[in-house]
Each structure stands twice: as structure tokens, then as C-alpha cells.
Amino acid sequence: MPRAYFEILWLLHDAPDWTLRMSDLAAATGTQPSRITHAVSRLEQAGQVRRELCTDDRRGWFTILTNEGLAALEAAAPHYAKSVREHLVEPLSSQQREQLSRIGESLLAHLESSGAALPSSPAASKQAVSTGAPVNQTA
């Protein structure tokens, strides 16, 4: 699964009701709306998302994660977590990992205090990287 598709599915999984506006997906991924439209079209063809017209303004579209999309995300998550461990965590010494952890905690604290929207909780993300398990944000 391409990283961009994984990111879209991950963001939808963490969103309330597994739903985000297309414009919010573009902003969250830092990509152009046309690229998000293309990626969502491919995911929709695969049955992993569906789109619905926003009834509030009739200009925007919602993207909704399907059960098939959730299954694809759960299948891909361990592979992405393993890649992060292999390429980011394992090459570091224990001292470097501790420094990286402190840096990450400082950055998250800054983002949280500034009101930035975070796609998932730090504890849940840490669990996903350490165990390879998908994050369950229902609690």
C-alpha cells in the first residue's frame, strides 16, 4: 500500500465517525486537493472508502472509511510499524533513542499547547510503533 493511501486511511480511522472532508484530508496530509482527489478515487475503487456530498453546503465532499478500508489499514499497520522500527529506532543506540523520545515529547507538548490537531494520541502512536498493532481510538 502506498504511504499516501496508508496515511489517508489512518487519518480517517482516527476521525470521528471515520469521516473527514476532502479539504481536511488535503490539509492534514499537506498535499494539493487534486492529489487527494486522485488518491481517494483509487481507494474508493478498491472499496476502502466512500464519498458523500456534504449536506450542509453542497460544495464539499466527505470521505468515509469503510470496513474494507479498516481491514486494509489493519493489515498494513504492522508492516509500517516494522519499517519505522527497522529504519528509525533500531539503528540508534539506547542513549540516542532516549534523546529521540525526549525530543518527540517536547514537540508533542508544543503542538498540544498550541492547539494543533494531532491525528492520534502519543501513547497510541507509541504503542503502534512498539508493538506493530493498529491504533484503536474508540476509547
Domain enclosing residue 14, as ranges? 3-67
For residues 91-111, average pLDDT: 92
Same domain, 44 and 87: no
CATH number of the domain where residue 44 is located: 1.10.10.10
Same domain, 98 and 126: yes
Tell me the residue type at 108: L
- Which of 41-45, 107-111, 125-129 is predicted with the least confidence, judged by mean pLDDT? 125-129
Residue 49: its pLDDT value, please?
97
Contact status, residue 4 vs residue 29, Cβ threshold 8 Å = yes
Same domain, 26 and 61: yes
For residues 108-127, average pLDDT: 64
